[in-house]
Amino acid sequence: MCSILLESCEFMKRSKSKRFYALFIFFIIIVIFLAIYVYSIVTGNILEDAAVNNIREVAVHDRNTITMFIEYNWKNQQRIGERLKRNSQNLKTVSQINEYLGLESYESTFDKVYLLMEDGSYYTDITYRKGSEDPDYYPYMDLFANTDSYKVIGYDSLPVMGSDKVVIYGYRLPDNPQDEVLSGIKIGEDQKEVYAVIGVCKRSSIVDGLVIENYVDDSGNTQGYSSVVNKNGEYVVDRKDAASSVPENLFDIIKHCDSSDLTSSDVQEKMLAGEEFWFYMEKNGVRELNYCTPLNSSSVNWYFIMSVNNRVVKDQTELFVLLIIAAMSAAIIVIIIAFVLTLIMQRKTQLAHAQEKAQSEFLSNMSHEIRTPLNGIVGLNYLMMNAIDIPEKHLQIKEWLKKSQNTAEYLLALINDVLDISKLQAGKVEVARAPMLVETMSESVCSMQYDNITGRGVEFIKDLHITVPCIQCDEVHIKQVLMNIVGNAAKFTPAGGSIKFSVNQSMIDENHVMTTFVCEDTGCGMSREFLDEIFNKFTQDRSSTSNSTKGTGLGMAISKLLVNAMGGDIIVESELNKGSTFTVKIPAEICEIPDYLKINSDDAKKTTDKSDNGVKSMKILVAEDNGLNAEILMEILSQFGFVPVHAQNGQEAVEIFERSKINEFGIILMDMRMPVLDGCEASSRIRNLDREDAKTVTIFACTANSFQEDRDKALGSGMNDFLTKPIDINTLLSKMEKIDREKHNVQ
């Protein structure tokens, strides 16, 4: 029995526990649903208020549009009265008055302008109405019957306007004699006094400025419309959806609708009080929001109403949520973009500061880099001037001349690099292909660097293994690269060290050879970090062992750029405190040694034998305005057997060529920039001369500008080729020898 009671108690406890948990869960569900319901109501009210505010903004726009239109028309009427005062003396006949009113209608915002006389008659732009016996007469005087104001306004249908409903503006002229502006205006043959100015506008002119089509569904159906009513509920501007069976009175519509938050009496009371309010109204199963606001004008007692389908309000609330999500997403995206842009700008700023610092160091070091070879040239010229009259110094002078020439060429290359840095940075490197003696060029590099290296107490080892003596390549740029590499080796190798310069060649095929230049030193070497940046512009190693060494920071960047442009490669191997090895590989086409290069070789013919080179009889016209440049060029040409003739400007060059015999000049060297007439214009005029050699004579452009646009301009003016100043004599002789051979072959 006890066990049964105990089991019964246990069962009851379990039952109570289940009921408790069930009731607790039910209570939690109710609380959650209530919370959701309350939240939805609060959110709905907030979003509904937001939607109503959105509708209100559109309504205020339309209301203000109507108000401004009305006020503007009143001002127009006052201006019409003022102009009438000034012109009343000229308005004697009906036709004059009609014409005057027609012009006023045309120039104003009114469709019609009438003048109402004191006896009730009125003038229009086409006629004169005397009284009620006239079938088209309209009783405008009745508009002023119950008003003390100068201004009245009404709306009606006028026969003269057809079926269009109109808004009638009436501006009564003051009858106070003290008002000298508008009082006492008399017109016509009988000099009747003007009582008022009447302006008539179609009601559609008010509608044109409204945003009535603001709410449109996906199918293009209008979901919102605007209207204007007076204090009696009569429509001044009709509802868009009003059918002929619907009463044209707001209060009647409210009485006959399915349901409304406000009664017609409530709405009329609020309108008479001038309140701004809104209410929902449902008719024919469509629920709509009606937003009502008075026109803020003292001239009329009208109300503006915007009616919007309730579905628009729901769409607006949904749109509001979407806009919030979009705004939050946009804000997050903007923050991320701003953060990324900040990082990018910070990085760019750091790079700009680093670039600015590097360029500042570059400019501070340029003086040293340019003055070093320049001082060498000045010093050598000084030594030669002092020793020129000493016979036993002639051999030494010859060596000094070679060194001066080599140093001048290096200085020219350095200046060209600095001036053309923008072109080099853009990767626009122009590579010239011309015959080059590998050994002569290599010896030239060694000769120019020998004193620089040995003077520092460094051993200089030269190892040349040349199997192909002459190749087609860019000698100036190769020499520039090698001078930079060997010069750097001299800078960074301390006394007691050594520098080895070697040249080797290997055949690529039977027409091409790979020439390898190697510069190996036992200097300070470079850090592994700097090896990754060695070919960057304006960079130098700042290790403790090289901190005192200056340079432009352009050399290796330019060297890499030039070697790559020539189809070759440059490799650097270095270890800090042990030295560096630079390897330059240049592929090139094998060629024969031309005569003008044989002249410069040790076993070449002497200058006295140059008369047999086949060009001594060629006559050359030199157009150069700089006297020193002309003197140097003509002397060199004379030494090589040419017959030069000097022209001081482009105009003189054209005149000399025009006076010359046919084919008297074989070549014209034309400076690009000259007074009176520049080189391009002079070349163009020579090509247009009426003589048989004007089209065939060879014209070389000579200029200090080396950019592609200068070449294009020269070739476009009719020139055959382009020579960069200072003119490379070997290049000039090569081009002229080729032309001379071609002319002899033709003959």
Give me the DSSP letters along 110-134: -SEEEEEETTS-EE-SS-EE-STTS
Q: pLDDT at position 653, please?
A: 92
The CATH number of the domain holding residue 557 is 3.30.565.10
Distance separating alpha carbons of residues 538 and 556, to the nearest angstrom: 9
Q: What is the mean pLDDT of residues 229-247?
A: 64
pLDDT tens for each residue of 350-378: 777 777 776 666 666 666 567 667 777 88
Assigned domain for 64 exists: no
Q: What is the pLDDT of residues 655-676, one digit of tens each?
A: 999 999 998 998 899 988 888 8
Mean pLDDT of 35-55: 65
Tokens of 123: 């003038």
* 719 neighbors 592 (Cβ within 8 angstroms): no
Residue 198 in 3-state DSSP? strand
User: Residues 538-564: what's their mean pLDDT?
Assistant: 61
Judged against a pLDDT cut of 90, whether residue 308 lies above it is answered with no
Q: How far apart are CA 741 and CA 72, in angstroms?
A: 92
Domain at 164, CATH number: 3.30.450
Q: Do 362 and 405 belong to one domain?
A: yes
Q: What is the dihedral of CA 438, 441, 445, 450, to 10 degrees?
A: 90
Residues 371 and 450 in one domain: no
Q: Of 183, 207, 231, which one is at a domain's C-terminal end?
A: 207
Contact call for residues 673 and 645 (beta carbons, < 8 A): no
The neighbour count for residue 73, using CB atoms within 10 Å, is 21
Identify whether residues 145 and 241 lie together within a single domain.
Answer: no
740 vs 176, higher pLDDT: 740
193 and 251 together in one domain: no
**Which string of DSSP letters, residue by residue, matches 446-490?**
HHHHHHHHHTTT-EEEEEE--S--EEEE-HHHHHHHHHHHHHHHH
Q: Given this model, what pLDDT does residue 470 score?
A: 94
Rounded to the nearest 10 degrees, the angle between the axes of helix 310-387 and helix 2-87 is 70
pLDDT in tens, 640-649: 788 899 999 9
Cα 458 to Cα 487: distance, rounded to the nearest angstrom: 12
Residue 10 has pLDDT above 50, yes or no: no
Question: Domain for residue 232, yes or no?
Answer: yes
Q: Among the ranges 115-124, 580-589, 593-602, which has the highest mean pLDDT value?
A: 580-589
Higher pLDDT among residues 461 and 525, named by residue: 461
CA distance 623 to 669: 6
pLDDT winner (highest mean) among 50-59, 272-281, 522-531 = 272-281
**Can you read off the two tokens belonging to residue 279?**
């209410």
Domain C-terminal end among 393, 419, 445:
419
User: What's the confidence (pLDDT) of residue 550?
Assistant: 45
For residues 620 and 497, membership in a common domain is answered with: no
Three-state DSSP state, 388? coil
Per-residue b/e over 100-118, b at no fewer than 16 CB within 10 Å? bbeebbeebebbbbbbbbe
Confidence band, pLDDT 50/70/90 cuts, at residue 509: very high
What whole-number distance in Å separates Cα of residue 95 and Cα of residue 97?
Answer: 5
Question: Based on the structure, what is the number of domains in the chain?
Answer: 4
Query: 12-16, 425-429, 504-508: which has the minimum mean pLDDT?
Result: 12-16
pLDDT above 70 (res 75):
yes
Q: What is the mean pLDDT of residues 626-649?
A: 85
Other beta carbons within 10 Å of 225 = 22
Domain hosting residue 549, numbered range: 432-593
Higher-confidence position of 622 and 732 = 622
Residue 373 located in a structural domain: yes
Residue 602 lies in a domain: no
Helices 475-492/438-454 angle, 10° precision = 20
* CATH code assigned at 382: 3.30.450.20
Residue with tokens 């500008």: 705
Q: Are residues 201 and 230 in the same domain?
A: no
Q: Are residues 393 and 448 in the same domain?
A: no
C-alpha–C-alpha distance, residues 68 and 355, integer Å: 61
Residue whose C-alpha is closest to residue 565's, from 672, 429, 413, 741: 429
Q: Is the pLDDT of residue 730 over 80?
A: no
**pLDDT beyond 50 at 57:** yes
Measured CA to CA in angstroms, residue 11 lies from 4, 14, 314 at distances of 10, 5, 54
Q: By the 8 A CB rule, do 593 and 470 touch?
A: yes
pLDDT for the residue 507: 94
Q: Is residue 347 very low, low, confident or very high in pLDDT (cuts 50, 70, 90)?
A: confident
Percent of the chain with pLDDT over 90: 17
* pLDDT classification of 684: cutoffs 50, 70, 90: very high
Q: Give the end of a domain, one of 169, 184, 207.
A: 207
Q: Which of 240, 237, 267, 270 is nearest to 252 (CA)?
A: 267
Q: Do residues 271 and 289 touch, judged by C-beta distance below 8 A? A: no
Query: Residue 197: is its pLDDT beyond 70?
Result: yes
Most confident by average pLDDT, 297-306, 461-470, 623-632: 461-470
Residue 269 is assigned to a structural domain of this protein = yes
Total-model pTM: 0.38
| Mean local confidence (pLDDT), 259-286 | 89
Q: Are residues 406 and 478 in the same domain?
A: no
Sheet holding 667-671, edge to edge: 643-647, 619-623, 667-671, 698-703, 721-724
Helix axes 679-687, 708-716, angle to 10 degrees: 30
226 and 375, same domain (yes or no): yes
> CA–CA distance from 717 to each of 185, 638, 644, 659, 678 (Å)?
81, 28, 23, 21, 11
**pLDDT for residue 23:** 67
Q: How confident is the model at residue 613 (pLDDT cuts 50, 70, 90)?
A: very low
Give tens-digit pLDDT for 687-713. 999 998 898 898 988 876 656 677 778
Where are any strands of DSSP class E within 16-66? Answer: none
pLDDT, position 5: 39
Question: Do 568 and 658 lie in a common domain?
Answer: no
Q: Inform me whether the pLDDT recorded for 545 exceeds 60.
A: no
* 303 falls within a domain: yes
Please calculate the CA angle 172-173-179 and round it to the nearest 5 degrees.
145
Question: What is the CATH classification number for the domain harbouring 615?
Answer: 3.40.50.2300
Eight-state DSSP code of residue 122: E
Most confident listed range (353-357, 446-450, 526-530, 681-685): 681-685
The pLDDT-based confidence of 437 (bands split at 50, 70, 90) is: very high
Q: Is the pLDDT of residue 206 over 60?
A: yes
The answer as to whether 67 is a domain residue is no
pLDDT surpasses 50 at 548: no
Q: Which residue has the higher pLDDT, 168 or 553?
A: 168
CA 546 to chain centre: 44
For residue 469, what pLDDT is reported? 92
Q: Is position 5 within any domain?
A: no
Collect all residues with Cβ–Cβ distance below 8 Å to 136 and sequence separation of at least 6.
129, 159, 160
The Cα–Cα gap between 127 and 110 comes to 17
Q: Give the pair of three-digit tokens for residue 134.
A: 């006239």
**pLDDT higher than threshold 70 for residue 549:** no
* Interval 51-55 mean pLDDT: 74
For the record, the structure tokens of 100 come out as 């005057």
The pLDDT score that the predictor gives to residue 647 is: 93
Query: Residue 87 is inside which H or E element, if any?
Result: helix 2-87
- 642 and 561 assigned to the same domain: no
Looking at the fold, whether 143 and 290 belong to one and the same domain comes out as no
- Checking if the pLDDT of 746 tops 70, the result is no
If pLDDT is split at 50, 70 and 90, which confidence band does 602 have?
very low
Coil/strand/helix, residue 6 = helix
